[in-house]
A = this chain, B = another copy of it.
Amino acid sequence: MAARVRPISGFPEFLPNGRIVEQRALAALHHTFELHGFGEIETRAVEPLSVLLRKGEIDKEVYAVRRLHAEPGRESSEEDLALHFDLTVPFARYILENAGHLAFPFRRWQAQKVWRGERPQDGRYREFRQADIDIVGQDSLAAHHEAEIALVALEAYARLEAELGLPAVVLHVNNRKLSQGFYEGLGIEDTAAVLQRVDKYDKIGPTKVAELLVTELGLSQSVADQCVALAGIQASDSGFIDAVRALGVTSELLDAGLAELSTLVDTVTTQGLSGRILADLKIARGLDYYTGTVYETELLGHSKLGSVGSGGRYDQLASDGKRTFPGVGFSFGISRLLVPLINRDEIRASRDVPTCVLVAVTSDEARADSLATARELRARGISAEVAPSADKFGKQIKYADRRGIPFVWFPQGADSGEVKDLRSGDQVQASATTWTPPAEDLRPSIIGPGQTS
C-alpha cells in the first residue's frame, strides 16, 4: 500500500534507537514501582464522554471517538466515548468499578499514553505518555503516604540518573493546608483564586503576582505582599517554619500544613535523600482537587522543560456517594522528559538494535549451521541474528556494521567458529556453547546527557 507519510504534529514517534531509551526508562520506573509494592493496572483508552467532562475546563482538549459508520438504530444505545486525557480520571473510575476486589490502601502504577487536543508546542503533545503512581485509601488515608510517594518518586528519578545518565532532579514540595491556612489567617476568603495567581510566580515574577492579587482580587497591597512573601520561601529542611512564622500570620490550618510539610521533608532527609527535596512555598498546582502535599519536579539544568513530574494529595479521588476514596499520587511526564532529549540526540542508545552477534552464513546450504549457532548463543541470553544472505564475508560484515551489531561470528560447523569484534578488529576462535561477550556489549547501553560515549 502507498501511504501518506508525513508526521502528524503533536504525535511524536521515535526511531528504534529512541525507543530503546524510552523502553529502558519505563523499565527503570516499573522496577522501582514494583520494589515499593505498586502493582500495575492498565485501563482502556476510552471513557464515556460524560465521565471525562465532569472535571470541567478540559472539554476543548478532549478527542471524541466514534465508529465511522455507526448504524443509527443499533448504535443509539451506545454511549459517546472519548480518549482519556490523563490517567487519574480512568483510575478513579476503575476504583469505583472494582472496589470490591481491591484491598485498601490500594497501590497502583500505570504507564499509558494520553491524548489532548491542545495546540502542539515545545513540550506539549497531543499524544504523550505518563507514568502514574497512586496510593488510595477507603474513607481515610494517613498523611505519611505523602512522604512515601516523595520517596518513591525520588528513588525512581535516582534510578533514571544511574541507569540512563539523566540529569538529577529536585522535588519541590508544598502543602495546600499551609497556603490556604496562611491566606485564611490573612482573612482572605477565595483562597483558590489566590493560589491560581501564585501559580504564575515563576512565569511573571513576584511583583506582577502581587499586582494581580490587588487588581483582580481586590486585596490590599500589604496582604498581597504577605502572600508573595510566603511564596518566596524555600528551604531544604524544616527551616521554612521559622520563615513562615516570621510573617506573623496564624491559623489552625496553617499549623497543620507546616507540621505535615516538615514531617515530609524530614522523612525524605532521614532516608538519605537530603538535597533532593526542597520545601518551595510557591508551588500551587493549578488543579482544584489537591488538599495536602503538592509536588513538582525540576530537572537540574533543564528548567525550561517545566515540571517533569507532578502530583499531590486529594481527599476525594472518587466517591460513589456512600464511600469516598482519598489518595495521593504522582505523575511522571515520560514524553515531556524524553522527547526533547531524544530528538536533540542528548540521550541515545549505543546501538540501534538489540542484536549482539551477527552469525555469518558461509553458503546457502550451511544456513542451518548458522541458525544452530545463533540458537546456542540465544540459549545463553545473547541476542543473535543470522546474516540475510550468503554474500562475501566483507559484505556481511558491512551489514553488521551498518546496523551497529558489535560482533560477527564466522561459523565452522554449528558449534564453533571465529568471532570478530568489529570495533577492535580482533578475531578469536570460539565455541557457541561457551563464548560470552563483555557484559557492556550484551545489550545496548544508554548514553545520557551526563555521559560521553
Contacts and interface: CB of A to CB of B under 8 A. Distances in A.
A115 B68 CA distance: 12
A44 interface: yes
A42 B14 contact: yes
B3 A103 contact: no
Contact of A37 (B1, B40, B137, B384): B384
A97 interface: yes
A89 B1 CA distance: 8
Interface in A285-321: 316-321
A354 B48 contact: no
Interface stretch (A177-185, A216-224, A375-383): A375-383
Contacts of A115: 45
Contact of A97 (B7, B96, B378): B7
Given A19-B41, A107-B385, A367 B144 contact: yes
A105 interface: yes
Contact of A354 (B39, B117, B386, B402): B39
Interface stretch (A55-63, A416-424, A428-436): A55-63
B142 A385 contact: no
Contact of A320 (B5, B8, B113): B5
Interface in A42-94: 42-46, 48-51, 54-55, 59-70, 79, 81-83, 89, 92-94
A145 B388 contact: yes
Given A15-B98, A34-B383, A68 B60 contact: yes
Contacts of A403: 103
Contacts of A83: 45, 65
A93 B148 CA distance: 44
Chain copies in the assembled complex: 2
A127 interface: yes
A48 B4 contact: yes
A405 B115 CA distance: 36
A368 interface: yes
Contact of A38 (B35, B41, B354): B354
A36 B267 CA distance: 46
A308 to B, nearest CB: 20
Contact of A65 (B49, B65, B388): B65
A16 interface: yes
A273 B354 CA distance: 24
Contacts of A371: 151, 267, 270-271
A3 B88 CA distance: 12
Nearest to A320: B2
B142 A389 contact: yes
Contact of A54 (B3, B43, B92): B3
A385 B40 CA distance: 15
Contacts of A39: 16, 19-20, 352-354
Contact of A13 (B44, B105, B355, B388): B44
Instruction: Name the 10 nearest CB pairs between A and B, nearest first.
Output: A37-B385, A37-B355, A67-B117, A34-B354, A11-B44, A16-B39, A5-B97, A35-B378, A5-B96, A3-B93
19 contacts: A4-B93, A8-B81, A13-B43, A14-B42, A16-B39, A16-B40, A20-B40, A22-B42, A35-B381, A36-B384, A37-B405, A39-B353, A39-B354, A45-B45, A61-B67, A62-B68, A70-B117, A105-B388, A148-B386
Interface of A: 1-8, 11-16, 19-20, 22-23, 34-46, 48-51, 54-55, 59-70, 79, 81-83, 89, 92-94, 96-98, 101-103, 105, 107-108, 113, 115, 117, 127, 137, 142, 144-145, 148, 151, 267, 270-272, 316-321, 352-355, 367-368, 371-372, 375, 378, 381-386, 388-389, 399, 402-403, 405, 443
